[in-house]
Structure 1
């Protein structure tokens, strides 16, 4: 799909921003470039759509040298998403999304229909089409920036730190949303970031750069387990030790398969009794079919017991959950760095399967260092 062959970028004075890069990107692959500031990752990306012209070597898309194409036409055939989003404030959301299709002279009806289809991909309905960017939240605006890059259905999309300016919660949610979108659409993505957690979460392969050169290329797990040198080890960070444990990769391998639950129809008095008996301060709420509905904790009960009597009247549906098969490293990040107490694990039908807790992770740390316990025997 995308090939670099001995590509360099040399500025006046002989400084090499990128040096003799050779790399092949497969169709449908999510490639993330990462490295310290000034390593050449953004320069590499901008050479793909000729915002920066390569000094030497060949960059090919579908075996065609990009230098043989008109640069304006080339850019219209490649999606591009940047951190600053770059929506035009005087244009409606439909006009912003349809910018490239308009340049390609798509009919008006076709452009509107395409914009409506794309909004549906990110759970935004057609009422947003006639709004203006200032009427949207930061996360919604960034979604529109991504949809604009998809509008003309390009096979290749470039993304330059697109989520860097967002708050952590919105950023996490957009990362997950976009990864699912990429997998469903089969687009080839070249993504630049300085955030290793983001790279590990999104990438099929990570390209680590330093001083204009590729230091290591590999799948996230491969890089975690077999860093090429001391620079890569330091760049990854010591705190990711447990992510590199080769025998433990997904949440179901360490979850407690018997989470403490309460049903919607039970009373708050019963919930308090369960908490006392099990010595916990939070219960997961399920329906009769064991589908996860939310949670209640002692604080919710304390604030509402005088005016409510049933669990279904006070259940908090706003909780983070993951599906079976989710990589453990993503849950580790949530629990250890964002202060989440635990993460329910569900199947595709939202049936509750188990829960990952801080105690589970403590067992993993012990197992990684000493190797003397089975991690799935945690009491949770």
Structure 2
């Protein structure tokens, strides 16, 4: 899909911002570039769509030398998302999303249908089409920025720290949402970040750069287990290195397969009895097909029980969940950042299959750091 052959960028004939890069990126890969400030990661990405011209070497997209392609036409074939989002305030959401399709002479009907289709991918309803960016939250605006990059169905998307300006919880949600979207659509992503946690969560492979050179280009797990040198080891940090778990990889391997659940038609008094019997302070709410709907807890029931009689009257639907196959180390980060007690695990259809608790994760971390030996001496 994307190939660098001895690519360098030299400024003023002396400073090499990027020096002799050689690597290949396969179709459908999510590649993250990371490194300290001034390492050349953003310069590398911008050379792909010729916002910065390479001084030496060649860059190929599908075996075509990008220097032999008109730069305007090249950029219309590549999606591009930046941290500042760059939505046009005077345009509606529909007009912002359909910007490139409009330049490519799509019909107005096709533009609108594409915008509606993309909104549905991020659980936004068609009524957003006629709103303006100022009417959206920061997280919603960032979603629209991502959708605009997908609008013309470009196979390659460049993303320059797109979630950097968001608050931690919104950022974490968008990371999860976008990774899921990327897998579904099969896009090739080149993503620049300064956040190692973000790189570990999103990437199929990570490019760690220093002084314009690639220091290590490998999968997150391989980088965690086998850092190339002291620079990589220090850049990753001891806490993250402790997350390298050779035995446990996904939430499926550590989840409790039988979480305590209740359906919406159950009365609140019955729900309280179930909590007492099971010695839990919350219940996951599912429908008849075991699809996760939300949760209830003692606090919610206490606040609303005077006006409610059934679980469906008080259920909280804003619940963080993960899909089967998600990496344990990503779940650890989310639980720590959000202060969660547990995370429900669902299948691709949203059906509840298990639950990961803080206790599950503590056991995994203990095993990864101290092994399976006696830990009774640890204070």
* TM-score higher than 0.5: yes
Q: Which residue of 2 aligns with 1:11?
A: 11
Over residues 25-57 of structure 1, what are the superposed CA-to-partner deviations in whole Å (9 max), with x where a residue is unaligned?
111211110111111100001111111111111
Could you tell me which residue of structure 2 aligns to residue 197 of structure 1? 197
Structure 1 moving runs of 4+ over 6 Å: none
Question: How many Å apart are 1:289 and its aligned residue?
Answer: 4.5
Determine the C-alpha separation between the residues in 1 that align with 2:237 and 2:27. 30
Separation in structure 1 between the aligned mates of residue 73 and residue 300 of structure 2, nearest angstrom: 57
* Aligned pairs for 1:76-225 within 5 A: 76-225=76-225
Q: 1:301, 1:316 → 2: CA distance?
A: 10
Q: Which residue of 1 aligns with 2:29?
A: 29
> d(CA) in 2 for partners of 1:305 and 1:118?
39
- Is the alpha carbon distance of 1:288 and 1:100 closer, same or farther for their aligned partners in structure 2, counting shifts above 3 Å? closer
Instruction: Tell me how far apart the structure 2 counterparts of residues 196 and 312 of structure 1 sit (CA, whole Å).
Output: 40
Shift of residue 222, structure 1, vs aligned partner: 1.4
Q: How far apart, in 2, do the equivalents of 1:124 and 1:115 lie?
A: 11
- Aligned twin of 2:305: 305
Q: What SS does the aligned partner of 1:244 have?
A: coil
Is it true that 1:351 corresponds to 2:358 in the alignment?
no
1:227-242 correspondence runs (5 A) = 227-242=227-242
User: Is 1:320 paired with 2:320?
Assistant: yes
Alpha-carbon shift at residue 251 of structure 1 (Å): 0.8
CA shift, 1:215, in A, is 0.6
TM-superposed deviation, 1:165 = 1.2
Deviation at 1:113? Answer: 3.1
Distance in 2 separating the partners of 1:188 and 1:289: 35
Given that 1:221 and 1:244 are in contact with CA atoms closer than 8 Å, whether structure 2 keeps it comes out as yes
**Structure 1: how far apart are the matches of 2:73 and 2:315?**
53
Taking a change above 3 Å as real, the CA distance of residues 296 and 242 of structure 1, as seen in their structure-2 partners, is farther
CA distance in 1, matches of 2:129, 2:280: 47
Distance change >3 Å, CA 25–CA 278, structure 1 → 2: same
Contact 1:242 1:364 (8 Å CA) reproduced: no
Distance 1:192 1:359, change over 3 A: same
The answer to whether the 8 Å contact 1:199/1:206 transfers is yes
What is the deviation of 1:242?
Answer: 4.6
Shift of 1:257: 2.4
CA contact (8 A) 1:322 1:344 kept: yes
Aligned to 1:18, the other structure's residue is in SS state: strand
What is the CA distance between 1:307 and its match in structure 2?
3.2
Shift of 1:239: 1.6
Q: CA deviation at 1:373?
A: 7.2
User: C-alpha deviations, 1:248-289, integer Å up to 9, x for none?
Assistant: 011121112232334433333333334334433222233454
Counterpart-to-counterpart distance in 1, 2:259 and 2:299 = 19
Shift of 1:7: 0.8
- Could you tell me which runs of 5 or more consecutive residues in structure 2 were left unpaired when the two chains were aligned: 375-379
Aligned residue pairs, count:
374
Q: Distance in 2 between matches of 1:130 and 1:266?
A: 40
Query: Aligned pair 1:66/2:66, yes or no?
Result: yes
Match of 1:367 in 2: 367
Partner residue, 2:48: 48
Secondary structure at 2:306 match in 1: coil
Instruction: For 2:35 and 2:313, locate their aligned partners in 1 and report how far apart those are by CA, in whole Å.
Output: 49
Q: Secondary structure at the match of 1:227?
A: coil
**Per the alignment, in what secondary structure is the counterpart of residue 173 of structure 1?**
helix
CA distance in 2, matches of 1:373, 1:301: 43
- Counterpart CA distance in 1 for 2:369 and 2:179 is 32
The gaps in structure 1 that reach 5 residues or longer are 375-380
The answer as to whether partners of 1:98 and 1:112 remain within 8 angstroms in 2 is yes
